[in-house]
Structure 1
C-alpha cells in the first residue's frame, strides 16, 4: 500500500475536505490506515513535502538554471542559498561545479542577470553561465516507486484558460505553498483563514490549474529514501534545427523527469538538458544508452550531483525577496 499511495500522491493529492478518505477509497482501505501510512512515510523522510507546485513563469517571475565555477564551494553554496528564489543547489562533477536554479520576483529592482552577477562577485566565481529555458518539453517528477510505468509515456500539454489573478488567488497561493499536516482535514485552516467553503476552495484551485498558474497539488519525495539512489543531469549536443524534435523524443522516456532546451555558449555546446532518475547508476546509464541510440547526438555528458546544498519550493510573493535585495543589492 505504501508504494500505491506514493504513486497516487505524487501525481495528485486531492484538495478536498477529507483527502485521506478520498485516497483510502481509491486504495480500498480505511482513512485511518492511509493517515497512519502517510505519517510513517513522513517520519521516515520518504515524503519530503505535500503542497502546491506553481509555474514560476506564469506568476511573473523570471528564472534560470545557473552554473558557477568556484574554488570554495561550501562558502559559495552558503551564499547562493541565502537568496529566497534559489530552490535547488547542487555540486556536480564538472569544472562548472555549482549548479542552482534561481527566480526573481516580477518587480525585482536588480533583475535576473544583475542578481546572478552579484552572486558571482560575492562567491568569487571564476566563470559562470546563465541557462534560462528556451523551450520546456517536460517537467514531471513522479518517481516510479511501484515499478509499473512503461519505458515511454505520452507527454501532453494542457491548454491554458486566460484569466487574471484576483486578490483571493494571491492569498490562496501563499497558503497552498505550506506543507500539509497529516490530519483528517488538512485544508481546514485555509478555508477558515480565507473565509471560503470547501467547494469554493476546490473551484479556485482548479482555476489556478486551468490558468496554468499551478501545475498540481502533490507530494515530492526524498529520492534516495524512496529507493532512487542515482540521478544525473544529462546534457546533449544536438543540431539546433532538430533540437525541438529531439527534445520531444527524450521527454517521452518515463525515467526523464525534466527536459529543456537552453542557450549554448562557446564554452557550453549542450542545448538539450534532461534529468534522469534511476535506482542505480547502471539503471540511469542504461536509459541514457537507449536515448543515445534513438536521437544520435553529436556528443553528451553526465553531470552527476555529488552534494545537495538546497532543495525546497520557492515561497512566492514573500517579503524575503525585497529584503535580500536591500541587504545585498545596495
Structure 2
C-alpha cells in the first residue's frame, strides 16, 4: 500500500483516520471541518481521502444509518452448512440480498459444521425468521443444516478504532 509518502504524510494520514473513524460531525461542510482539524486546505484533504480510497485503505465514504434508531431492533446471525465447493457462488447470492448486512465464509470447527454466515436485521423477531426462511429457500438443497444466533443484549458495537492504539 502506498498511502504514505513521507513521515509527515504518515502522521497526517493517521490523524485523518483518528478524526473520521467514528464518523464525521453533522455540520454544513464536513470537508472544511476536517481540513481545519488537519491544518490543511480542503483540496489537500479531499486528495488525501481519494488516495486512501484508491490504495484500498478505505472502501467508501458514506452515511451509515443507525438501524436501531430506525426501528430495526432485532438481528440474527444465520449460519449455514453448505458445500465448500459452492460457497463462493452461494455466498455471493446470499450477500446480494437487501436484508443481509454481512456475509462471511468461516472455517468449520469441531462440533460446528457451519461455514457460511449471514447477518439479518428486522423490526421484530418474525422479520428475521422470514429472512432466514428466504435464505433457506435460496440455498435449497445446497443447505445441509442451519441455525440462527440472536442477540440478547449489545455489549459493544463499534467499527475498528485505531485512535489510542500503539504500534507493534
Q: Which bin holds the TM-score, normalised by the shorter protein?
A: 0.7 to 0.9
CA contact (8 A) 2:78 2:147 kept: yes
1:242 to 77, 86, 93: 86
SS of 2:154's equivalent in the other structure is strand
Is 1:318 the counterpart of 2:164? The answer is yes
Aligned counterparts, 1:9-48, within 5 A: none
The structural deviation recorded for 1:317 is 5.1
C-alpha spacing 1:291/1:270, structure 2 compared with 1 (3 Å): same
SS of 2:64's equivalent in the other structure is strand
Is 1:307 the counterpart of 2:146? The answer is no
TM-score, normalization: structure 1? 0.45
Which residue of 2 is the match for residue 208 of structure 1?
52
Q: Distance in 2 between matches of 1:286 and 1:179?
A: 32
Is 1:217 the counterpart of 2:51? The answer is no
Q: Distance in 2 between matches of 1:257 and 1:233?
A: 10
CA contact (8 A) 2:94 2:135 kept: yes
Q: Structure 1, residues 12-35: CA drift from partner, whole Å, max 9, x if none?
A: xxxxxxxxxxxxxxxxxxxxxxxx
Unpaired runs of at least 5, structure 2: none
The structural deviation recorded for 1:164 is 3.7
Aligned counterparts, 1:1-330, within 5 A: 163-166=2-5, 167=10, 168-296=12-140, 297-316=143-162, 318-319=164-165, 321=166
Q: Distance in 2 between matches of 1:181 and 1:245?
A: 39
* RMSD between aligned residues: 2.2
Higher relative contact order (CA 8 A, sep 6+): 1
Q: Work out the number of aligned pairs and report it.
A: 161
TM-score, normalization: structure 2? 0.83
The structural deviation recorded for 1:227 is 1.4
SS of 1:303's equivalent in the other structure is strand
Q: Structure 1, residues 205-244: CA drift from partner, whole Å, max 9, x if none?
A: 1221122111223333332321112210000011111111
Decide which structure has greater strand share. 1
Q: Distance in 2 between matches of 1:199 and 1:247?
A: 39
C-alpha spacing 1:179/1:197, structure 2 compared with 1 (3 Å): same
Q: Distance in 1 between matches of 2:34 and 2:83?
A: 49
Q: Distance in 1 between matches of 2:98 and 2:104?
A: 15
SS of 1:308's equivalent in the other structure is coil
SS of 1:215's equivalent in the other structure is coil
CA contact (8 A) 2:81 2:113 kept: yes
The structural deviation recorded for 1:307 is 0.5
Unpaired runs of at least 5, structure 1: 1-161, 326-330
The structural deviation recorded for 1:187 is 4.0
